[in-house]
Structure 1
Amino acid sequence: MEYHYSHLVDPSSYDNEGLCDGIPLRVHRNSDLEEMGTIRLRNDWNFFVGPLPITSGGSMGPIYNFTSVTMPECRPDRLELVSYMVELGFLNDDSLDTTKVPEDVALTGEMVYRRNEGIDKAMIKDRKSGEGQILANFAKEMMSIDPERASEVMKYLRRDLRVRHNGIKFKDFDDFLEYRVVEDSGSDFLIALSVFGMRLTIPREEQQTCFELTRPVWAAAILTNDVQSWDKEYKFTQMQDKTDMTIMTNGIWVLMKQHSIDIEEAKRRVLQKVKDFVAQYVITLEKNKTRQDLSLDSRRLIEAMQTLSDLQLNRIKNGWPSHIVQVQPCHLHGTHVNGAEGTHISGIETPDPLLMEHLLDLDHAVIHAPARYIQSLPSKCIRDKAVDALNVWLGVPEADIIQIKQIINILHNASLMLDDIQDSSALRRGKPSTHTIFGTAQTINSAGYQIIQAMNEVRKLNDPQCDDIFSEEMGNLYKGQSLDLFWTFECTCPSIEQFLKMVDCKTGGLFRMLAKLMIAKSSLTSTPELATLMTLIGRYFQIRDDYMNLTSSDYAKQKGLFEDLDEGKYTLALIHAMGTAPEEQERLLRNILAQRRILGKLPLDHKKLVLDHLELCGSMDFTVTALEKLHTAILKEIEKIDQEYGQQNTLLISLLSTLKV
């Protein structure tokens, strides 16, 4: 199996105590995306359900994050959503924390009742069901990305969300383990989630075989979890005043009752069984490399399952079982959680935060919020489609394609956030602009942070040439924007040549960047020269956008009626009119634009007057003619490259046809 999205961790940097010998530790290269999903779920939990469980550790670990290790080959474009679901599972589990007061047991019971409702429409409509709303939103987002694989995830999730009782009595340990693996491990759901995350296709006739082959890893995961959660489950059972302790569904307890042994001996035997199951799976993995009776994706899934277990959770979240120290969160920095004064955390001296070098990391949710908002708005994904179309010629590996798309989308959204501030735009894609919700200062800060994030993503391409491309084109983008802002502020009309140069820098910059990055990562020995094509596409895209702003009712709904005139932007049509109109008409246009500076925007009748003069000067027809010339030139450039490489780029031609005026 080829690994595209993760890297190996040096085995000498951690100690697995022999519990998973032969299982390598890999970490996803985009752990920041997992953190975004985790933080988003926690915010949603606070909003829809209530305060986080007081003992919640969640999926973010002190060194590595859970999903980044258990699903290291999850596609980056799906990692955030997968992590969102994983974190929901952790919060459900952590809500059973036995150190909480008895009232919290009632709350937990209510949550279990909610889980029993499943995710039926009745549950989704019930606004009191916070978790139901979270699951509904999760399902909707998954279905929009990949309906077929999402349906499988939701099918098994619905099945696994039914209530599980701690009241089943088992004949022996084998009977217990069979029940846990088949009925109580969530294995089908987690396999479906992995298939979704990795975008695998598992033939129906091979699905049962995949499950059977992965049984040892699920057994190992279950037993490791039993050791980890023993204290919590035992105390929770005591809190419920259970007199019949035989109903505990935990491997340690089953062995204690079956063999009349104490807790420590039962734990030792459970951990030995973990080692045995892992050893079995290592043999399965070795055989899997040469199997011919399974599809490639089935074999990829079997290999991927080696990390999808709570074995990895212990590495990340709690250390290995012998290292787990339970600290009751009764006091925090000298103050009890109920407000009473104190000086310790469960008897442990609390360090003075003023003198601590390493404090808890700041929450990233605030700085990501404006960017997440604009990402949520509807988009035609033109740049993503352009990347896919160019790859017909360039043959860039899929992992790099995903990375380049992510870079371009981060930069595009950051530029939109800044553009809306600089242009005083109230609407973006038919919704309130980001700065009207989060404030100008916070939006600027978030946009700047996104640009740094994009730079970090470029570095992950591991190519100095890509770093130079990023730096050069980002510089061009800012230079182009500076001219656009200068002409607007000074009410100075540029020449058509100056305008086109500004467009080449500002709009063409991102198109050239994506093309250059793709060429740098191309697997081909010879690649086409795309600079001219990208410059022409950038010009077409900007001039078309300006034209549609003046003529399209759909654009008016998305951005506001004739918004470019409110912003005082000099478009190709306006520049043509200013340069060809008689002196009296030109003076009239200048006076109207001057009023925009005084009023902050133009009244509707002033806008209509400007449009009348643009028509009189033939400027709208001039713009249409310019777009037709550009369209023809782009098609010729595509045809030239097609002939040179012997492959017709129908994707790019199709994309261009959707933009034709």
Structure 2
Amino acid sequence: MFNKPSDAISEDAYRGLEPSSSPFFPPLSPYKSSSPIPDEFLKGYYSRIEPRFNSMIHAEESAAIRASETEWIARGGCTFRGGAFSPAGSIISITLPECIHKKASVLLVSSSSAFIEDDIIDGELFVNFHESSTKFIDEDSPEYKAQRSFYRVIIDQIRARQYVDLLNQDGDGNAYVQSLEDWHNRSWEVLDLESQNKQNKSLEEYLDSRLATLGSNLYLMLVPFCFGFQLTPQEYELLEPLNSLVYKLCNITNDLESAVCDWIAHASYDKPDIPGNCVYIIMRDRDVSLGEARDILLEMFRVVELEAYELCQKLLESPPSANVKVYLENILLVPAGVVAFGINSSRYKANPEHPLYPPLQAKLKGLPRVANTKHALNSVIELYSETSKDSTRGVNRDISAWSVAAMPQKNPKPWLSEYPQLTEQVVMEPCEYIASMPSKKVRKAMIRALDSWYLVPHDSMEIITNIIDLLHTSSLIIDDIENNSPLRRGRPAAHMAFGMPQSVNAANYLFVKCLEEVQKLSPAAIHVYTEELRNLHIGQGTDLHWTFHGSCPSEAEYIRMIDGKTGGLFRMACRLMKADATKNHNLDANRLFTVMGRFFQIRDDYQNLTFATYSTAKGELSDLDEGKYSFMLIRALNNGSNTFDSKLKNLLQLRSRQGYLTPEQKILAMRCMTRSKSMEYTFTVIKELEAEVERILESLESSVGEHNWTIRAIMARLRTADPKMAYISQ
């Protein structure tokens, strides 16, 4: 528990909290390539870690960042508040001061686009923090939605190009790019934090929810990337508690520094309740002023930072591996750099004359709002005070807030009564369970990539994205049942958690929801939906037929099955978007996505039998247990020698009788496929498909007149390396 200090901070300290009189903590290791940030940039610095900057990239960082910002403007973006540069240095230079020069240079280019995207996500891109008049922003207006969608298309393309450049320049970047992409996806999909505050989440609950929704794995990938090493799964697990503390420190700092701008943006949109920010949660919970709330949060920062520092010391005494040692010596420089950046960046400054600028001495009721606001805060403190008195926090005990339909009614003859229809809550539970699992989000990325060509209206874009999401979720539930697969992405499959009847019903219900959605588009869209849904079921049924009857297809038959089963969702999205396009109406990308569907499926087959992480997620060599005819197995059976062909057929017969293969039988099957050269053959096919995707993509880009960097980034991330399958050759 963090108690309110007796004296609130002064108005002069509003932009930066008073410098700590205590000395810095002793460094965890000698510094090598960084220099201390000059005192002139440390007014208001409150971390106990000495702030430093990377002197090796200091000269080039300004030009690199401005190049990214110039690209944003050139593509049609608007002016924006402070980006990744501050007088003290760039966000990369001062959070990763000891970073390898080559790695830091790669990251500099992408840092500004990350800030721009953050402003698009939370809507602050549309707020002028330096004006002297109040302007209400209607986020429900078609104009706002269209502009926001357009800006997202631009930033998606910029970020994707930067990913491609990073992956081409640095072979170690794949894990970092994947974690960064996951972070971006979660940022767009995260639950609205204001709605969480309405449920009266405490400060700790709010910070925990940020950790759960946005996660801290970005740092676990970022630091190793910057120093050119990889952590083992055991090392990730060891560092996770420390990483959570670091992420909490960064969140606290962000909320301290952005409190003013967060309120101005919140009030400009005339939103109810409070912004998703620690400062305003403290104000609400404790009925304190803005200045007092910042004091409380500052004290929390210092306690968490001390805990993180002591944990680093403890882990360094272990002693750790060489890579973990480097991680521990540098990770606390990240939140220290965030503090130094926050107190210097123009990004967190607003005009004190702005009519929505929150006074330091004001409590929640006294904070300024747009004139004639429809949202008042008069009841916030009273509601919180009331609900906090008993154990059922967050429950509105005012009976007038209940609807008549929601209240239980005593009726001796319920069979004669009228009731509202049942909700879909129970039916949707298996679907929501599957949708919550970690995912590469490839289909959503593909839809955004297409939008850069077609520029679909915002409402139609949301409908199409929802249709593809729902169908994909339905297909995963059904696929696991039909393949008798117990795992989905490392967790129990839906039918293993909710039972088979409930899971089948839920998957079928999603078809109804999709039909409701597609009817909002056009009659042509309904035709596209039914045609591609037909292709999906025929493709899946053909695959099941081969497995059930033990009938090995030819390579051509297998490709036709993929075109219906895997390529169907991609083509559906493409055709639906083309029908609603506002530009490039005649651009036909069906062939591209058909070939990409083949690439994804055969790559998936290959990964299932070659990559440990994928096998762990789905179950060790699950395709062999499921009896599926993967591309490698088809090649081995149709083109292998009689000896290998006979052994594989015998193993498949045993699998059909046993329902599975033992680990020893799987190893024998893998040896047969390896010696028949089917693995090398499949790898060659994957590379040919990559080349064909590149050829078709270049042709489409040529007709449009610009690169589609999002598709290129997806292909770069999925590029398959030729693995040395040591365990097979043993």
Interval containing the TM-score (normalised by the shorter chain): 0.5 to 0.7
- Given residue 277 of structure 2, which amino acid in structure 1 is its aligned partner? M
* Residue number in structure 2 paired with 1:140: 211
The CA deviation string for residues 259-304 of structure 1, in whole angstroms up to 9 with x for no partner, is xxxxxxxxxxxxxxxxxxxxxxxxxxxxxxxxxxxxxxxxxxxxxx
* Residue number in structure 2 paired with 1:51: none
* Residue number in structure 1 paired with 2:497: 437
What TM-score do you get using the length of structure 1 for normalisation? Answer: 0.56
CA–CA separation in structure 1 for the residues paired with 2:283 and 2:431: 34
> 1:558: Cα distance to partner?
0.9
1:621 to 2:692 alignment: no
1:602 to 2:661 alignment: yes
CA–CA separation in structure 1 for the residues paired with 2:600 and 2:498: 29
SS of equivalent to 1:209: coil
> 1:434: Cα distance to partner?
1.7
Contact (CA 8 Å) 2:540, 2:561: kept in 1 or not?
yes
The CA deviation string for residues 55-111 of structure 1, in whole angstroms up to 9 with x for no partner, is xxxxxxxxxxxxxxxxxxxx997596458526625xxxxxxxxxxxxxxxxxxxxxx
1:455 to 502, 515, 522: 515
2:460 to 380, 389, 400: 400
Contact (CA 8 Å) 2:489, 2:618: kept in 1 or not?
yes
* Residue number in structure 2 paired with 1:355: 416
Change (3 A) 1:83 1:639: same
CA–CA separation in structure 2 for the residues paired with 1:597 and 1:328: 52
Contact (CA 8 Å) 2:453, 2:584: kept in 1 or not?
no
1:85 to 2:196 alignment: yes
> 1:140: Cα distance to partner?
3.1
CA–CA separation in structure 2 for the residues paired with 1:507 and 1:632: 19
Change (3 A) 1:365 1:550: same
CA–CA separation in structure 2 for the residues paired with 1:25 and 1:156: 24
Change (3 A) 1:326 1:565: closer
- Given residue 199 of structure 2, which amino acid in structure 1 is its aligned partner? L
* Residue number in structure 1 paired with 2:350: 204
- Given residue 538 of structure 2, which amino acid in structure 1 is its aligned partner? K
- Given residue 407 of structure 1, which amino acid in structure 2 is its aligned partner? I
1:611 to 638, 655, 670: 670
1:576 to 2:635 alignment: yes
Contact (CA 8 Å) 2:578, 2:585: kept in 1 or not?
no
SS of equivalent to 2:351: helix
Unaligned runs of 5+ in 1: 1-23, 29-74, 90-114, 125-131, 166-178, 184-200, 241-312, 335-349
SS of equivalent to 2:634: helix
* Residue number in structure 1 paired with 2:488: 428
Contact (CA 8 Å) 2:485, 2:493: kept in 1 or not?
yes
> 1:586: Cα distance to partner?
2.1
SS of equivalent to 1:450: helix
CA–CA separation in structure 2 for the residues paired with 1:598 and 1:431: 26
* Residue number in structure 2 paired with 1:243: none
Contact (CA 8 Å) 1:139, 1:154: kept in 2 or not?
no
Paired residues for 1:133-532 under 5 Å? 135-141=206-212, 143=214, 152=262, 153-164=276-287, 204-205=350-351, 208-210=354-356, 214-218=369-373, 221=376, 333-334=409-410, 350=411, 352-357=413-418, 359-460=419-520, 462-524=521-583, 526-532=585-591
Contact (CA 8 Å) 2:644, 2:676: kept in 1 or not?
no
* Residue number in structure 1 paired with 2:4: none
SS of equivalent to 1:214: coil
CA–CA separation in structure 2 for the residues paired with 1:405 and 1:137: 29
> 1:162: Cα distance to partner?
2.0
- Given residue 431 of structure 1, which amino acid in structure 2 is its aligned partner? R
Larger Rg: 1
The CA deviation string for residues 157-192 of structure 1, in whole angstroms up to 9 with x for no partner, is 422332459xxxxxxxxxxxxx9xxx9xxxxxxxxx
Higher RCO (C-alpha 8 Å, min separation 6): 2
* Residue number in structure 2 paired with 1:567: 626
> 1:512: Cα distance to partner?
0.6
> 1:385: Cα distance to partner?
1.4
> 1:391: Cα distance to partner?
2.2
Change (3 A) 1:587 1:639: same
CA–CA separation in structure 1 for the residues paired with 2:414 and 2:213: 42
CA–CA separation in structure 1 for the residues paired with 2:353 and 2:565: 50
CA–CA separation in structure 2 for the residues paired with 1:393 and 1:160: 46
CA–CA separation in structure 2 for the residues paired with 1:565 and 1:613: 13
Change (3 A) 1:208 1:634: same
> 1:524: Cα distance to partner?
0.9
Change (3 A) 1:607 1:528: same
Change (3 A) 1:411 1:160: farther
- Given residue 596 of structure 1, which amino acid in structure 2 is its aligned partner? R
CA–CA separation in structure 2 for the residues paired with 1:459 and 1:449: 16
CA–CA separation in structure 2 for the residues paired with 1:452 and 1:362: 16
2:644 to 576, 582, 585: 585
Unaligned runs of 5+ in 2: 1-137, 143-185, 219-250, 263-275, 294-346, 358-366, 391-395, 721-730
SS of equivalent to 2:355: helix
The CA deviation string for residues 337-393 of structure 1, in whole angstroms up to 9 with x for no partner, is xxxxxxxxxxxxx58421123x14434332121111112211111111112222222
* Residue number in structure 2 paired with 1:251: none
CA–CA separation in structure 1 for the residues paired with 2:663 and 2:622: 10
Change (3 A) 1:623 1:326: closer
> 1:136: Cα distance to partner?
4.6
Contact (CA 8 Å) 1:458, 1:466: kept in 2 or not?
yes
Contact (CA 8 Å) 2:632, 2:679: kept in 1 or not?
yes
1:558 to 606, 610, 617: 617
CA–CA separation in structure 2 for the residues paired with 1:78 and 1:378: 13
CA–CA separation in structure 1 for the residues paired with 2:674 and 2:630: 14
Paired residues for 1:72-151 under 5 Å? 81=192, 85=196, 88-89=199-200, 118-119=202-203, 124=204, 132=205, 135-141=206-212, 143=214
- Given residue 529 of structure 1, which amino acid in structure 2 is its aligned partner? D
Change (3 A) 1:388 1:483: same
Tell me whether 467-476 or 533-542 shows the greater mean CA deviation: 467-476
CA–CA separation in structure 1 for the residues paired with 2:348 and 2:582: 28
Paired residues for 1:42-81 under 5 Å? 81=192
- Given residue 368 of structure 1, which amino acid in structure 2 is its aligned partner? M
CA–CA separation in structure 2 for the residues paired with 1:328 and 1:379: 36
> 1:456: Cα distance to partner?
2.3
> 1:217: Cα distance to partner?
3.9
* Residue number in structure 2 paired with 1:645: 704
2:594 to 517, 530, 535: 535
- Given residue 369 of structure 2, which amino acid in structure 1 is its aligned partner? T
The CA deviation string for residues 532-573 of structure 1, in whole angstroms up to 9 with x for no partner, is 111100000000000010110111111111110000010111
CA–CA separation in structure 2 for the residues paired with 1:639 and 1:645: 10
Change (3 A) 1:78 1:540: closer
- Given residue 282 of structure 2, which amino acid in structure 1 is its aligned partner? R
CA–CA separation in structure 2 for the residues paired with 1:325 and 1:457: 28
Contact (CA 8 Å) 2:187, 2:214: kept in 1 or not?
no
Contact (CA 8 Å) 2:449, 2:710: kept in 1 or not?
yes
Tell me whether 204-213 or 418-427 shows the greater mean CA deviation: 204-213
CA RMSD of aligned residues (A): 4.3
- Given residue 196 of structure 2, which amino acid in structure 1 is its aligned partner? M
CA–CA separation in structure 2 for the residues paired with 1:455 and 1:598: 40
- Given residue 353 of structure 1, which amino acid in structure 2 is its aligned partner? P
Paired residues for 1:21-36 under 5 Å? none
Identity %: 29
What TM-score do you get using the length of structure 2 for normalisation? Answer: 0.51
The CA deviation string for residues 238-265 of structure 1, in whole angstroms up to 9 with x for no partner, is x99xxxxxxxxxxxxxxxxxxxxxxxxx
Change (3 A) 1:86 1:454: farther
CA–CA separation in structure 2 for the residues paired with 1:516 and 1:352: 53
* Residue number in structure 2 paired with 1:174: none
